[in-house]
Amino acid sequence: MIFSLKYKNIFFILLGSAIFSFGLVHFNIQNNLGEGGFTGITLLLLFLFNWDPGLMNILLNVPVLIIGWRILGRNTFFYSLIGIFAVSIFIWLFQIYTIQINLLNDMTLAALFAGVFVGVGLGIIFKFGGTTGGVDILARLIHKYWGWSMGRAMFVFDSAVIFTSIITYLNMIQGMYTLVAVYIAARVIDLIQEGAYAARGATIISSKSESIAERILKEMDRGVTVLEGRGSFTGERRDVLYCVVGKNEIVRLKNVIDSIDPHAFVAVTSVHDVLGEGFTLDENKKPIEY
């Protein structure tokens, strides 16, 4: 540990920074696509004044990071500092050792890959406790002192940067493809943040809840939480079962329930990130390595 930082987190922040920077250089810059946030400002300065985006990334982000360090906390501050400098270094390296990926004749593909690479890179950085500085820190400050939601603040800032890019160096077509890339990146970030392991949560209401819970535990080796419920219409008290299973186990769970009580009420919801025994911990409470 360094300042209570984890080497695993540092490794993945560096990996995310490399992926993000690769996409930025090879898909955004090569194909004249903009970007939102401070990254969009660095591209704006590159295309207008030929200022190095790696250097601009540091000059823009570090002051904001220092201003917002109290909000971030010590660990996130240092992780973000690593992320900012790593992104700048990788941008510099990829500009020297560039792979020519000319997709100007297929901007749909360029926007798709730009969004995926930026989204995967940022998603990994966020998932392991870092940021790349910029808008998310400003959004936290605006939320704290002016009461705006973070989503609103980020949307306004990103929109202003993209709009400025359109009226300065992007044409309308490039601006629209930039919006497509930004949207794809946002969706990919959400996917990584929510967790690649998608599970299902089942809420079960039945007069035979005890038998159902026993069968789930015995046949599926899944834990069941018993909650006390009361019907608002009848006033009748009844046990409510809650169980989380893998996505591929949901049909089996329904079959177990149906075999005991075909009239049971079952509500199934998506669970995006599951922590705990049976998912991230084994029966001895030790982490499961996937």
Burial status of residue 11 (CB atoms within 10 A of its CB: 0-12, 13-18, 19 or more): exposed
**Checking DSSP bridges between strand 237-246 and strand 199-205, what pairing results, if any?**
antiparallel
Higher pLDDT, 115 or 236: 115
Mean pLDDT in the chain?
86
CA proximity to 79, closest of 93, 59, 65: 65
Residue type, 158: D
Q: Note the pLDDT tens digit of each residue in 38-64.
A: 999 999 999 999 999 999 999 998 888
Q: Note the pLDDT tens digit of each residue in 14-46.
A: 999 999 999 999 999 999 999 988 999 999 999
Q: Note the pLDDT tens digit of each residue in 69-87.
A: 777 778 888 888 899 999 9
- Structural domains present in the chain: 7-194 (no CATH), 199-271 (3.30.70.120)
How far apart (Å, rounded) are the C-alpha atoms in residues 247 and 188? 20
- Look-up of token digits 């050792």: 97
HSE of 230, CA atoms in CB hemisphere, 13 A = 2
What percent of the chain is modeled with pLDDT above 70? 88
Higher pLDDT, 195 or 3: 195
> Which band of pLDDT confidence, cut at 50, 70 and 90, is reported for residue 290?
very low
- Least confident range of 97-106, 114-123, 259-268: 97-106
Is residue 5 within 8 A of residue 75, CB to CB? The reply is: yes
- Look-up of token digits 């025994």: 277
How far apart (Å, rounded) are the C-alpha atoms in residues 260 and 214? 11
How far apart (Å, rounded) are the C-alpha atoms in residues 279 and 245? 9
Residue 196 pLDDT > 60? no
pTM of the model: 0.74
